[in-house]
Structure 1
């Protein structure tokens, strides 16, 4: 689908020209947290870097990422419990094997479990169609078996998509995807065969990897960005319903010097719960579908 100079998934739509609708309880701003729980291969494959990595095995960066699953994720769980906030937990399926009890702890909170590939040591978009279909099928089978229900949403490891990814996800039964940061409202994507799949906004600005790893912002700067974005989007949502996502990785914002400013920022957001729909990406997708919102 698409061509060499376009993707063919959606047409241009200016936000001010769209129909105005409400989120549940008359809210105009939907806020969700995308918590990435990821695994990485030892001695090979991809992975974010705290410092320039040396020859494999790159123990420095591997151990830094591993700390997130052993320590940081549990501190973020406590933070979310303390503020009474739900999360969409983006899960590498290999973690059920590699970190027993980790995903189960977030399931016990009632959090949404979202497909996020097998491991973040690989990209799916570089595979041929059969290989990508097999990756999606393997990850989906594990999550479905472990959770007792098939995941509704998918975020590719490293936001990696091929030209056929939306088609493959729709054919695998997924109802929404999170890879595209092109809008502040959900968007219907066309898929081959006349079908469609919903794109729910996922942040790249309010995302600790681009902010802290790539742009070298401090934890306080990242927290300030969350507060400023929330205050601005709350005002902007008076004119149009909006989605604000916040993307977190335990090995980054679970670190104590970043966790403290993050807690302050999320407490500021949570203090407005009377004005805002605090929800999950899946609930946003369900509302759009059930309410017949054109998106």
Structure 2
């Protein structure tokens, strides 16, 4: 699918003088990926690593993915509360349908709910424009029906939107998205029709799913990855940068990995020169600092 004709986007990016709230040069965002699949669908990968033959229902992968709603989300929220950290929680609409009590707990805990499509199997690029609009409408409605507040941030499954999806999000009233991975900092996108939306890169360097499932690392490897990146950002870099720390409730929502999320929060909380907050707070800040942004061409995502 190609971008719609006449839908040019102007991108405005921060300069090296950009600072996070409080004047910090380094920012940390803690993300919780709380993921579910449409009825009858299962995760494309599972803990065994050897997929079944095509056409067979993978009950093992389905049960593994269900851990996030049964246990993982509660452990992740407990860790965040213990450390006094507000997180951005990627949440699928299907979870609002079937596990509304978890969505209420996220909202009541003061965390940001970031819409994550209806299900992990509903990826925007596979849908036509009407389908993408309906998926945005459905997902937004299911979450807002439970919390009483419409989400203002969106991240597509696997961070993959479509050539027109960002424009559709802006038109639907979303203020930020994470379907980009091209910078250390957020940017402000202005659509041809005047709608604005902040793109906040979904930085994958400290993320449990690729670390543990794709590369087979133990939990300590993710902690070490964070420690090395954090030290480099603070001691070697001179430019501003944000770093995401992301766990999935069905992966490091388990005791064997959750302790790493806890430990990283402890490290960040003990670093007064570092800003930490939600993606929504980051989007609001860059809008407030728009006078310091510079035009950097155009993009469709």
TM-score, structure 1 normalization: 0.89
Asked if 1:88 corresponds to 2:88, the answer is yes
* Structure 2 unmatched ranges of 5 or more: 295-301
Other-structure match for 2:116 = 116
CA contact (8 A) 1:24 1:277 kept: yes
Structure 2 CA distance for aligned equivalents of residues 190 and 265 of structure 1: 35
- Residue aligned with 1:284, SS: helix
* Structure 1 unmatched ranges of 5 or more: none
Structure 2 CA distance for aligned equivalents of residues 96 and 203 of structure 1: 26
Q: Indicate the RMSD between aligned Cα atoms, in angstroms.
A: 2.5
Alignment of 1:1-295 (within 5 A): 9=9, 18-41=15-38, 43-44=40-41, 46-51=43-48, 52-54=50-52, 56-236=56-236, 239-272=238-271, 274-292=272-290, 293-294=292-293
Structure number having the greater strand percentage:
2
1:150 positional shift: 2.2
1:47 positional shift: 3.4
Deviates more, 1:209-218 or 1:84-93: 209-218
After superposition, give the CA deviation of every residue in 1:242-281 in whole Å (9 maximum; x if it has no partner): 2111121011112222122332233222211x21111000
Structure 1 CA distance for aligned equivalents of residues 277 and 236 of structure 2: 19
Provide closer, same or farther for how the CA distance between residues 236 and 167 of structure 1 changes in structure 2, counting only shifts above 3 A. Answer: farther
Provide closer, same or farther for how the CA distance between residues 21 and 247 of structure 1 changes in structure 2, counting only shifts above 3 A. Answer: same
Structure 2 CA distance for aligned equivalents of residues 147 and 170 of structure 1: 21
- Residue aligned with 2:93, SS: coil
Structure 2 CA distance for aligned equivalents of residues 259 and 77 of structure 1: 11
1:236 positional shift: 4.9
Provide closer, same or farther for how the CA distance between residues 215 and 189 of structure 1 changes in structure 2, counting only shifts above 3 A. Answer: farther
CA contact (8 A) 1:45 1:122 kept: no
After superposition, give the CA deviation of every residue in 1:180-207 in whole Å (9 maximum; x if it has no partner): 1111111123434344321112122222
Structure 1 CA distance for aligned equivalents of residues 236 and 145 of structure 2: 41
CA contact (8 A) 1:202 1:247 kept: no
